[in-house]
Amino acid sequence: MILGFCLYFAVRSGVADEARTAYFNALTIIEIERDLGVWRERSLNEWAERSDFWTQVASLAYFWLLFPLIIAVGLWLYASQRQKYIVMRDAFLASGALGLVFFALFPVAPPRMLAELAGQFDTTPPPEVFGFVDSVKLHLRYAHDSASTGLWVNSYAAMPCLHAGWNLLLGVAIGWAFWGTRWQWPATIVGGALPVVQSLAVVLTANHYFLDIVVGLFVSALGIPIALGLQRSLYPFAGRWAPRLATSWRKAGGPAASEAG
């Protein structure tokens, strides 16, 4: 699972590095949110920046409630509930694959980058692009575009927000793991809180838009039926046919036949 996520982040950093397109796609998202009456990202980021406490909380949640938590929960499920681990692993990887398609076809710049990109590509930028603070960089000294993180980061992968979506899957994994035990309701509460906390964190830190979150939750949730479908159809099919293919290959003169000769 860890190797799979390393591959995902490496591929993610290599797709959709189109700054101009990402900037104007971001403006499209802002316009849609204004029409829907939900454009509040800048005011929420400004509110958080007036409080060191909430900014620190949001920045820490943004960083620690993703990859470190995925590793911890994944290792725990692998060791204690292998079948549930396989289902959730496949859900993560399936949603990640869907996310890569979005990143390639519809690159979107996060709010924290809008002012910088406006200076490069927009002679008459709207006022909405100014005033955002990159809270994670300011308070955690974590730069998304630094040399140390360049392999793992695509700066124009705001849509969909898998930070929130994968926290939804983490919540499902935690609740499912404890279901039927005396800890099921505390685990359910924790699991339900994870995507909510992360959704707030990505907005307060100027890393995502509300529409990113909606699409990220949908894409990640879609990973669950895909994972269950693999369990019910593909894996049994592969299990039936793999031995037959191996036998046919040996009879046709594969490595085993060569060694026997």
Evaluate if residue 141 carries a pLDDT over 90.
no
pLDDT at residue 150, rounded to an integer: 47
Mean residue pLDDT of the chain comes to: 85
- pTM for this predicted structure: 0.84
Residue 136 pLDDT class (50, 70, 90 cuts):
confident
Q: Specify the higher pLDDT residue, 235 or 70.
A: 70
pLDDT at residue 186, rounded to an integer: 96
Evaluate if residue 87 carries a pLDDT over 80.
yes
Q: How far apart are CA 219 and CA 234, in angstroms?
A: 21
Q: How far apart are CA 60 and CA 75, in angstroms?
A: 22
220: which residues sit within 8 A by CB, 6+ positions away? 91, 95, 162, 164, 165, 166, 168, 169
Each residue of 163-191: pLDDT tens digit?
999 999 999 999 999 999 999 999 999 99
Radius of gyration from C-alpha coordinates of the chain? 22
Q: What's the mean pLDDT in 200-204?
A: 96
Q: What's the mean pLDDT in 120-136?
A: 92
Residue 85 pLDDT class (50, 70, 90 cuts):
very high
Q: Where are the domains of the chain?
A: 2-238
Evaluate if residue 137 carries a pLDDT over 70.
yes
Each residue of 17-52: pLDDT tens digit?
588 999 999 999 999 999 999 999 999 999 999 988
pLDDT at residue 221, rounded to an integer: 97
Q: At what angle do helices 67-80 and 52-64 cross, to 10 degrees?
A: 50
Evaluate if residue 200 carries a pLDDT over 90.
yes
pLDDT at residue 164, rounded to an integer: 97
Q: How far apart are CA 67 and CA 75, in angstroms?
A: 12
Q: At what angle do helices 19-36 and 114-121 cross, to 10 degrees?
A: 120
Q: Specify the higher pLDDT residue, 192 or 143.
A: 192
